[in-house]
């Protein structure tokens, strides 16, 4: 009989693949029901009916939708994301560069946001219902409530226009020095950190407070251990499952939800790439971007599920 952990991990992996397939179906159907004609948008309003018919034939738009879907899916499985209609170039190489830029931006934001959120959560629990807790909760709630694009424009106005601390455009290019690249993305990183910090901090605080009601915490207090030591060494490790879950969800948001931030700062990532080709009605690029975003989001949530399973001692040591 298989170990419960092995069974649950296999179930989660199978569910992840099923969700990714379902996402591919939704993405394909969504792009197919968009209004307008792809051939018309490429050739313009002055194109003749014969020219439009020839282009539709070249693009395979006359084939049944089911045939086009399975052809696209077969290409994706083989690593072929198709060809961009706007320039005739393969999508995968261009998308790979944009994805690398997006992952770099998200990673820089995560390196700051995750430890800061955990630290603020610990401080908030240590001074529960006192002014540090209330101040941290109020500020983080305010950052959650304000849309990213508004925070971005405010940051540009004060940190770029008024005080000229950081550049207003996050322009990066191949061969750019690491320090210069970090400086160029400073403003979008700040905006992304503010966007996810509050949620992670509040969930960390809630998870630790829930563990603080346990009997072993009371035993540690009776032994005379310092409050912050009790929280950091005894409560936090036992609250790791919900904390990891919320961290992974926010990491997924950092990758998938950067579209607005990338557009505001004209950052050459996947979000900007997607928006540019939506305007051109380049359906293959939109499908590829949507599938990559879905894969990243499902993958990170799958990792969170697996960590939660492995962190559960009742599953690791069944009777």
pLDDT band at 315 (very low <50, low <70, confident <90, very high): low
Q: Is the pLDDT score of 314 beyond 70? A: no
**Tell me, what's the pLDDT at 2?**
62
Rounded to an integer, what distance in angstroms lies between the CA atom of residue 29 and that of residue 87? Answer: 24
**Tell me, what's the pLDDT at 36?**
66
CATH T-level assignment (fold) for domain 100-280: MetI-like fold (1.10.3720)
**Tell me, what's the pLDDT at 136?**
92
| Stretch 249-278: mean pLDDT | 87
Q: Which segments of the chain belong to CATH 1.10.3720.10?
A: 100-280
Residue-wise pLDDT for 52-77, tens only, equals 788 777 777 777 888 888 888 998 88
| Stretch 78-82: mean pLDDT | 86
**Tell me, what's the pLDDT at 37?**
66
Helix, strand and coil content of the chain, in percent to the nearest 5, comes to 75, 0, 25
Residue-wise pLDDT for 128-167, tens only, equals 889 999 999 899 888 888 888 899 999 999 999 998 899 9
SS3 sequence of 83-113: ECCCCCCEHHHHHHHHHHHHHHHHHHHHHHH
**Tell me, what's the pLDDT at 156?**
92
Rounded to an integer, what distance in angstroms lies between the CA atom of residue 155 and that of residue 190? Answer: 8
**Tell me, what's the pLDDT at 188?**
94
Rounded to an integer, what distance in angstroms lies between the CA atom of residue 184 and that of residue 150? Answer: 19
Rounded to an integer, what distance in angstroms lies between the CA atom of residue 40 and that of residue 43? Answer: 5
**Tell me, what's the pLDDT at 160?**
92
């Amino acid at each position: 009989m298989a170990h419960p952990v092995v069974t649950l991990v296999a179930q989660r992996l199978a569910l992840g693949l099923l969700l990714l397939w379902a996402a591919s179906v939704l993405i394909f159907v969504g792009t197919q029901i968009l209004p307008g004609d792809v051939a018309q948008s490429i050739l313009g309003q002055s194109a003749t009916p014969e020219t439009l018919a020839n282009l539709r034939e070249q693009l395979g738009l006359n084939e049944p939708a089911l045939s086009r879907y399975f052809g696209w899916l077969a290409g994706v499985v083989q690593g072929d994301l198709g060809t961009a209609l706007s320039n005739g170039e393969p999508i995968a190489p261009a998308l790979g560069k944009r994805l690398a830029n997006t992952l770099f931006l998200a990673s820089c934001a995560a390196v700051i946001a995750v430890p800061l959120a955990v630290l603020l959560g610990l401080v908030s629990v240590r001074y529960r219902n006192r002014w540090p807790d209330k101040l941290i909760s109020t500020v983080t709630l305010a950052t959650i409530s304000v849309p990213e694009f508004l925070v971005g424009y405010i940051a540009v106005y004060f940190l770029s226009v008024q005080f000229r601390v950081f550049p207003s455009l996050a322009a990066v290019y191949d061969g750019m020095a690491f320090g210069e690249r970090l400086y160029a993305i400073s403003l979008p990183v700040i905006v992304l950190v503010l966007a996810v910090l509050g949620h992670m901090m509040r969930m960390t605080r809630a998870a630790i407070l829930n563990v603080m009601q346990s009997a072993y915490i009371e035993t540690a207090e009776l032994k005379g251990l310092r409050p912050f030591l009790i929280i950091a060494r005894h409560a936090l490790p036992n609250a790791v499952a919900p904390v990891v879950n919320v961290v992974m969800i926010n990491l997924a948001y950092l990758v998938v939800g950067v579209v607005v931030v990338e557009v505001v700062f004209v950052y050459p990532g996947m979000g900007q790439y997607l928006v540019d080709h939506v305007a051109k009605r380049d359906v293959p690029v939109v499908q590829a971007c949507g599938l990559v975003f879905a894969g990243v989001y499902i993958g990170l949530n799958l990792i969170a599920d697996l960590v939660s399973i492995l962190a559960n001692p009742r599953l690791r040591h069944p009777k």
